[in-house]
Structure 1
């Protein structure tokens, strides 16, 4: 049996189900082996970069590692960006790149590249495999490294001859015990004591790491009667139509969240699952922490105290820590008055905007999508001007999900990511919101969605310019190059040429609930081009201030 086949069969045994990537000479042995391993399904993308975002999204949602493969040379370098994204998000994706035959290394082979050091700083392990007999064990070691402790990506460069060498019949490697973060029980109990002492004078800020514990966090917030805000990546960790919701803090913050968290109505700030970076904290806003004590819960100990002095750092698996907190906090058994009150925050604002006579623009289109989306929809956001409107105005309710690769996602990452998301949860409606600039980068992945019959609704906001760049320059410099705009291209026309179902939307009348329902019921991908002028200024002022150096 070939060395690569033994290694792949080990990964199948661990529950790995997908290989994302593009076939090429130096990894052809992998794709040939897949013919004999039907449990491992290939997803052939249109660009290696997109395949990496597909793998990351699938792994983030399912918790299962995935494989992402690319050829030597340019194929490998095309995986650097999604590997860095997986590193930022702590995702156990297994990146495998091909290489020239081991005996020809250093002789100027076609597309030869020493990839090991390139991936070293953005993975938990990066190694070149030079002994075929060790390949299965090294692949097992890479898998174990990816899922142990704080998860993260790994990378192996495997020369084509090493992949193809017959190593005979071999037993599959045995996986050693997996190390998982342990909870600091004493720290959790100290945090519970401080929370109890604060009474009603506390607030909660949720990051992406809180999403897996959403139900228990809702219970905690209701027990404490503390207001809750989320970071942009944490959006969806707490239902935004809940009376305790403040909405988003950080990039494109809701005014209510900024005023409350920067105000003086609380003495304790409970932070759950956030690294508290620039986009999560409105450029590390000092008022967020001024005059109050911080309780920071995270399963990655390195995040605690990294950006702000933290009086109560709590290291451990978040769901277990929340359970421990709830056991120490006596719940008020009487009915909470807020539970029956009409919501006065985001939900009311969204409803009012729907009833009002709105102009046709990006904002109104996003609000209409929010109002008409299924109650179990997953919104997968790309990177651009529309992203700022969506962070602020998509109302994510209980049962819905929100994803965005905001920390290291490139333009077009949301298109690839939405395919991984749909594969992860085939029965959940997936709505990808992207822009014309993103589409021009990685839009042909809609064809990949067609080829695998993935029923994703791709909503492309077409303002015929690089909107975030244009408005960023106008806000910062009061001028910009004409090159940031271009002659409008028909995205619907591109979709038609690809044989995809498509629609062109120019008004709210063409974006009604029945339209969204019909697009999602098609059974395959649908591309909806939303044509807007894009002249309104998006809610990105905090980002511009950071680029201007106004916070220093």
Structure 2
């Protein structure tokens, strides 16, 4: 017999988890100590939301599970947004929260997380794939296994277990489980693809985040080359296909490239979608007169197919990577070379003050190594990268264009740096995001993590500011009366920091940064009047 806290920690270690992110509180102390005793490093985050984001970034970089812990009551509720972001991004994260005492449930308790109090089990249900409170020690093993099965099956996602302190301290029979392996299936309808693709006169392949989830980078490239398919990504699909490939049109949708939009405006008779729900962010600017004549939609989530465009649609359900592998085994029908629009260089639509955020991306193209992993936060700063940053190595650029929690990219990058300390991890964020979760820079510094934060500072909440000004004629509540001085803030947290206001200055500072050796913050002062690429909407 062993204490359940130790049994959980030992099982997490067997499943490959080496870091646990969170903030201590009395109900979860037994679990944190057990994790340390089991070889798992506890990382003290600066906010439970940051811990949840860090666990997600850890899972993404490690291509495995992430784990975060928060105490009962507010510690748990602080992680809700991180859980929702992980669900939107398809990331398997285990969220552990506490409860004062199972034996005293029903009696008044401080930070009660049962159905008599905050009811964290219920709160986490809409933002996870599974949420439960463990009532007894003998339930711990089966419920932990079930939670992880739910986290990795189908489209991966977060799960939540609320475990009372007395259950963590109780003893139970030891258990040991192999890592659950999700069933992967492919569709027999894949046989219809070759003829449909080869007969299309103006096809296009649209890649979403699902390509990241399934790691189907080689398969989508082989499919595009075999059938000579022009390729564009959604904003969230950025990084799934090389931007410098001859078949690449860049990104479509919000903040997309002129080249991708020019191709669509000439009409398409076949849209092939891989791993995208086709949200309004992904199809922004796609006018009804240019809707595709037919759609082939690869996705594990059948409920998202056939929802965004009218017309006939062929759903190819199941695992994206396996379906594409099956497709590549079929005899291909000869296809004609794709006719693509000329490459168009985007203009810097600025008001004349300070550095252009668009030109910052051009410098990053020069100075960031191809091997760098970019975690884009939510804001105009990353949409400039969607349009202008050139990804040459698939699987090295990550961004969410659906849920869009500001500041999550900061935590994702920190977690990624803990998961892969030898990698060059870069977070592209903004001043608004830094106001929300910038304290996690301290988590990176304290953990000795080597990563680079590039803070695009235009002293405003840029996307909503420009949206209000352009569409309404005025803005309110979008600019900071006392703007962030990210350099001073970062230095106060122990990071190396530089304030930059010119392209030459940025080039100079970045010249000798790689390989990264410590936590570094580059605050880039940009023109607050520049019009961002996000102004393109349908």
Q: TM-score, normalised by structure 2?
A: 0.91
CA distance in 2, matches of 1:433, 1:470: 20
Q: Is 2:238 aligned against 1:235?
A: yes
Q: 2:221 aligns with which of 206, 218, 222?
A: 218
Residue in 2 aligned with 1:526? 520
**What is the 5 A alignment of 1:165-314?**
165-167=170-172, 170-174=173-177, 178-185=181-188, 187-198=189-200, 200-211=201-212, 212-264=215-267, 266-282=268-284, 285-287=287-289, 289-290=291-292, 292-309=293-310, 310-314=312-316
Residue in 2 aligned with 1:322? 324
Residue in 1 aligned with 2:115? none
Q: 1:441 to 1:397 in 2, by over 3 A?
A: same
Residue in 2 aligned with 1:9? 10
- TM-aligned CA deviation for residue 449 of structure 1: 0.9
SS of aligned partner of 1:35 = helix
- TM-aligned CA deviation for residue 296 of structure 1: 0.7
> Contact between 2:91 and 2:156, CA under 8 Å: does it hold in 1?
yes
- TM-aligned CA deviation for residue 11 of structure 1: 2.4
Q: Is 2:508 aligned against 1:503?
A: no
- TM-aligned CA deviation for residue 76 of structure 1: 0.7
CA distance in 2, matches of 1:404, 1:182: 27
Name stretches of at least 5 consecutive residues in structure 2 with no aligned partner: 113-117
SS of aligned partner of 2:171 = coil
Residues 304-336 of structure 1: per-residue CA shift (max 9 Å, x gap): 3243355211012222222222222438799x8
> Contact between 2:255 and 2:383, CA under 8 Å: does it hold in 1?
yes
Q: 1:375 to 1:486 in 2, by over 3 A?
A: same
Q: Is 2:374 aligned against 1:379?
A: yes
> Contact between 2:462 and 2:478, CA under 8 Å: does it hold in 1?
no
Q: 1:165 to 1:542 in 2, by over 3 A?
A: same
- TM-aligned CA deviation for residue 270 of structure 1: 0.9
Residues 352-385 of structure 1: per-residue CA shift (max 9 Å, x gap): 99xxx99722221122112221111122111122
- TM-aligned CA deviation for residue 30 of structure 1: 0.8
SS of aligned partner of 2:433 = helix
CA distance in 2, matches of 1:303, 1:67: 28
> Contact between 1:29 and 1:160, CA under 8 Å: does it hold in 2?
yes
- TM-aligned CA deviation for residue 475 of structure 1: 1.5
> Contact between 2:445 and 2:493, CA under 8 Å: does it hold in 1?
no
Residues 270-316 of structure 1: per-residue CA shift (max 9 Å, x gap): 111111111111177534534x1111111233333243355211012
CA distance in 1, matches of 2:253, 2:420: 29
Q: 1:492 aligns with which of 487, 495, 508?
A: 487
> Contact between 1:380 and 1:418, CA under 8 Å: does it hold in 2?
yes
Q: 1:400 to 1:72 in 2, by over 3 A?
A: closer
Q: Is 2:426 aligned against 1:441?
A: no
**What is the 5 A alignment of 1:26-65?**
26-38=27-39, 40-65=40-65
- TM-aligned CA deviation for residue 389 of structure 1: 1.4
Residue in 1 aligned with 2:95? 95
> Contact between 2:431 and 2:455, CA under 8 Å: does it hold in 1?
yes
> Contact between 2:461 and 2:478, CA under 8 Å: does it hold in 1?
no
Residue in 2 aligned with 1:81? 81
Count of aligned residue pairs for this structure pair? 526
- TM-aligned CA deviation for residue 91 of structure 1: 2.0
Q: TM-score, normalised by structure 1?
A: 0.89
CA distance in 1, matches of 2:277, 2:529: 34
Q: 1:135 to 1:285 in 2, by over 3 A?
A: farther
Q: Which is bigger in relative contact order (C-alpha 8 A, separation at least 6)?
A: 2
Name stretches of at least 5 consecutive residues in structure 1 with no aligned partner: 546-552
CA distance in 1, matches of 2:180, 2:342: 50
Which 10-residue stretch deviates more, 461-470 or 419-428?
A: 419-428
